[in-house]
Amino acid sequence: IGFDIAEEVRLPPSVQTYLCNAEAQGIVRQFLEQYFQVFDSGSRQPLLQAYHEDAKFSMTSAYPYGQNPKNSSWLNWYNTDSRNILRVQDHDRRLKLLKQGNLAVVSFLSEMPQSKHDIHSFTVDLNISTPQLLLLNVSGMFRELRSGHKTAPIRHFFRSLVIVPAGSGFCIANEQLHVSNATEQQAKLAFKTPIIQTPQPAPELNAAPPAAAIPPVVP
Amino acid sequence: MDQKAKIDQSCRTAEEFTKLYYESTDKRRHLISKLYLDNGLLTWNGNGITGNDRIQKFYMELPSTDHIITTLDAQPILDNAVNGQLSFLIQVSGTVKYQDKVPKSFQESFVITAQNDKWKIVSDCFRLQEPLNTEKN
């Protein structure tokens, strides 16, 4: 005879997308498509328009559970500039690793390894939607290109974005990026067919944006 | 407050906040609602839970957890975006064990704001680092 409290671990099922404001779907979808199209294009300079002139950006990186530099693709490039304040105690170093202003941000982004994101792997959480700001959290996978690895590593990312209105469109005021390696399970599914297919209406554009800019969208 | 002082404060606050937050989720869940604004929002793997009472109820029903933080980062949010009310963006990565099972990697993002001399969570976004369609514990 046993006891009744040795229960199994049951977690709520994961959901790919959460939008606190359904009306923002078009803006969010369009923003992400345009942003990552430029990010993966080979030149990230056009992202200057996507960041506020006082934008802040910082990055952290870490191996996922069970991985280390000996059994997985090195994260050395990212670890060098990882603003992990648990480890980086020096105030000046903390300040230096926080990129401030769109020039500094895009200059840093331009130095990052070339990438190809798997937009079908993305999870999207829109947690705040007010006239002053959108708070967007995005995670997913990307393949790192031309960075000297024998096989192109598949990485996992998690980005937090504070997006504010700018002129007739939007720009990023704050961003935090976490880079990790894809887990074995994740890597198997990267760049395969969409995980969950949800029919989504095409975003309505108020003006045809230049291909390489975050589009002006009037809410 | 100048930018440098604000940046310093965001880091100090993030260290104190995350210590308290994960101690609360792991050991004192009945107090977790106190960390959120009344109308705060938690998204847990894409499930949205609004309001500090409902968030506490959600946590009480979640299997027991043991979090270990690997990385922590913090920055002050642009003044214009928050009408000058001091608010920080905080990002965490680490591992979490559910009832002593194999740890899973997770990332979590917070927006906290100063309200009546207390820091409160406006938004909390939690994501396990695993594929969406292979939910196995």
Taking residues A123-149, report their average pLDDT. Answer: 94
Taking residues B104-130, report their average pLDDT. Answer: 97
Tell me whether residues B71 and A61 touch, CB distance under 8 A: yes
**Tell me, what's the pLDDT at B100?**
80
Range of the domain at B111: 3-128
Q: For residue B18, list chain A residues with Cβ-Cβ distance below 8 A.
A: none
Structure confidence at residue B107 as a pLDDT band (50, 70, 90): very high
Tens digit of each residue's pLDDT (9 = 90 or more) over A67-100: 999 999 999 999 999 999 999 999 999 999 999 9
Structure confidence at residue A147 as a pLDDT band (50, 70, 90): confident
A168 or A68: which leads in pLDDT: A68
Q: Which amino acid is present at B32?
A: I
Question: How many Å apart are CA B117 and CA A164, to the nearest integer?
Answer: 26
Does the pLDDT value for residue A203 go beyond 70? Answer: no
Taking residues B39-64, report their average pLDDT. Answer: 97
What is the pTM for the complete model shown? 0.90
Taking residues A125-152, report their average pLDDT. Answer: 93
Question: How many Å apart are CA B108 and CA B86, to the nearest integer?
Answer: 20
Residues pairing with B36 in the sheet: B121
Among the listed residues A219, A210, A214, the one whose alpha carbon sits nearest the alpha carbon of residue A55: A214
Does the pLDDT value for residue A216 go beyond 90? Answer: no
Find the distance separating the first CA and the last CA of chain A, reported in whole Å: 62
**Tell me, what's the pLDDT at A90?**
95
Q: In this structure, how many other beta carbons lie within 10 angstroms of the beta carbon of residue B76?
A: 23
Give the number of domains in chain B.
1
Taking residues A121-134, report their average pLDDT. Answer: 96
Size of interface A-B (CB pairs under 8 A): 182
Q: In this structure, how many other beta carbons lie within 10 angstroms of the beta carbon of residue A207?
A: 11
B84 Cβ neighbours under 8 A, 6+ residues apart: none
Taking residues A50-56, report their average pLDDT. Answer: 97
Q: Is B7 on the interface with A (CB under 8 A)?
A: yes
Mean model confidence pLDDT for chain B: 94
Question: How many Å apart are CA A68 and CA A60, to the nearest integer?
Answer: 16
Q: For residue B71, list chain A residues with Cβ-Cβ distance below 8 A.
A: 60-62, 82, 84, 86, 178
CATH number of the domain where residue B123 is located:
3.10.450.50
Taking residues B12-16, report their average pLDDT. Answer: 98
Structure confidence at residue A164 as a pLDDT band (50, 70, 90): very high
Does the pLDDT value for residue A199 go beyond 80? Answer: no
Query: For residue B133, is it within any domain?
Result: no
Query: For residue B137, is it within any domain?
Result: no
Tokens representing B57 are: 């109820």
Taking residues A154-164, report their average pLDDT. Answer: 97
- Residue A40 class from Cβ within 10 Å (0-12 exposed, 13-18 middle, 19+ buried)? middle
A contact residues 57-116, partner B, Cβ 8 Å cutoff: 58-62, 64-65, 82-86, 91, 94-95, 98, 100
Query: For residue B74, is it within any domain?
Result: yes
Tell me whether residues B129 and A186 touch, CB distance under 8 A: yes
Query: For residue B22, is it within any domain?
Result: yes
Taking residues A100-116, report their average pLDDT. Answer: 98
Question: Which of A1-10, A127-136, B4-13, B42-51 comes out lowest in average pLDDT?
Answer: A1-10
Question: How many Å apart are CA B104 and CA B49, to the nearest integer?
Answer: 22
Query: For residue B134, is it within any domain?
Result: no
Question: How many Å apart are CA A206 and CA A215, to the nearest integer?
Answer: 9
Tell me whether residues B91 and A196 touch, CB distance under 8 A: no
Query: For residue B53, is it within any domain?
Result: yes
Does the pLDDT value for residue A3 go beyond 90? Answer: no
Distance to chain A for B73, nearest Cα, Å: 6
